[in-house]
Amino acid sequence: MKKNIIQGLLLLFVCFQAYSQRAETLDNYMNELFNKNAFNGNILVAEKGTIVYQKSFGLANEKTQEKLNLQTCFELASVSKQFTAMGIVQLQKKGKLSYDDKISKYIPELSFYNNVTILNLLTHTGGLPDYMDLMEKEWDKTKIATNDDVIKVFEKLRPSPLFTPNDKWEYSNTGYMLLATIIERVIKKSYGEYLNEVIFKPLKMQNTFVYRRWFKPEIKNNYASGYFFSKELNRKFTPDELGNEFYVVYLDGIVGDGMVNSNLEDLLKWDRALYGNTLITDTDRKMIFSSYEMSGQRSTDYGFGWMLTNSPDYGKIALHSGSWGGYVTYIERHLDNDKTIILLQNNALSTTEMPTKKIRLILYGKPLEQKIKIDNSILQQCEGKYLTDTGKTKEIVYESGKIYVPVSPEEKYELIPVSQTKFIIDGFQPEVSYEFTFDNTGKVIKYRVQQPEQGLDYEAKKI
């Protein structure tokens, strides 16, 4: 008996030492990022629900100089999608809808998209056009748009689908906006009321809520303001400083693809609940965290509001990122090893980083990789517009010694060098690579994009 107690105490001591070492390494790394203006926000890293490391870095409000703290709430941006998906799962469990239902059953105004199902919306396989592009061209920006406003614009213009449902995977904010509308029409309550009733209250997520600061202003205590950086003004600024013409403001009434707000503590509660049976059964869990097959036996690598990847080093991972209105957010769940990474930032600057790769290495006790250095003149050569064989124009942007792929007016992905000519998208799973081809004079003439898991492989010539 005495021997077992001693062995148990030794095991606890070894675990404590391992946690302490990882926490110290994480703290050194995060301080390094903060000191070079690459991270302003909150971080939580947990293992089997036990917090290994959590800390706040920087300011919640530049004007008042209020500092962030561990309870500060942030706009989650696209990390909201997992809550929208869970709302749909709860309705399906109650028999209020079926994943195979056509969206026209609930949104008859869009009956011309007659083959798109709720499952297509959940898994980004519906082929619906992007509502942000449409609203930028068509919307009266003196008004703040809602979901119903977007649907009316779609009904009026009847934009053609991008592809036949289930033929391709293409990330769709439109799909998740429509899922929120389906929730509201089925349950006869607002999206925010419903999520509060079926998710936030049952899980005691007391600091999680749907909030549209321009559409329905409220006073929120301990709340982080989102910031961009202006080269012209040489300072940080908030979206409202740009007025109603700025898309973050005139699209503020739209829910489903974003607008959930939360903090570290509540998101850890959410993480733990996804392992339990309070909200879902094993059958639900399998559907939420499964990849879905498209035409040609290709996989979506996306479940219900979660990107999915399998790693030989880390096992199965469910993750999602978000970027909107100066907020840059991220949650990652290691399903086989029960590890959790949560990052909430309120600065979307050219220097901002999403340091998930190194955090993983530290969490698993792996050696940190040395960063490949590339001369700025080479990176600047990569900047510019490119034309694909299908006639689409793509762009590579250079900012402050880094290159990025813009995916929306708000969001861009940093390209991390793995050689002098090859880059990968930072934190994106499955891995997407960009390889640039240079001519004899050192000028970039084209790049090649590859993502074997999605069957993605194309070239784009510089123009």
Mapping DSSP to helix (H, G, I), strand (E, B) and coil, where does residue 228 land?
A: strand
Strand partners, 236: 229
How far apart are alpha carbons 149 and 152 in whole angstroms? Answer: 5
CA terminus-to-terminus distance, the chain: 76
How far apart are alpha carbons 206 and 266 in whole angstroms? Answer: 7
What are the residue numbers of the active site?
78
The two structure tokens encoding residue 97: 């809808």
Distant-in-sequence, close-in-space partners of 129: CB < 8 Å, separation ≥ 6: 159, 160, 161, 162, 174
Give the H or E element holding residue 109: none
Cβ proximity of 203 and 278 under 8 Å: yes
Strand partners, 446: 437, 461
Instruction: Say whether the peptide bond before residue 430 is cis (omega within 30 degrees of 0).
Output: yes
Measured from the Cβ of residue 106, the count of other Cβ atoms closer than 10 Å reads: 18
Q: Give the distance, in angstroms, between the CA of residue 130 and the centroid of all CA atoms in the same chain.
A: 17
The two structure tokens encoding residue 371: 């960063």
Look at residues 393, 400, 395 and name the one whose alpha carbon lies nearest to residue 379: 400
Distant-in-sequence, close-in-space partners of 347: CB < 8 Å, separation ≥ 6: 40, 41, 58, 226, 227, 229, 236, 326, 328
Find the length of the chain. 463
Classify residue 132 by its DSSP letter.
H
Question: What distance separates the 2 farthest-apart alpha carbons in the chain?
Answer: 78
How far apart are alpha carbons 132 and 146 in whole angstroms? Answer: 12
How far apart are alpha carbons 415 and 422 in whole angstroms? Answer: 9
The amino acid present at 330, given as its one-letter code, is Y
Classify residue 302 by its DSSP letter.
B
The alpha carbon torsion through 354, 355, 356, 360 (nearest 10 deg) reads -170
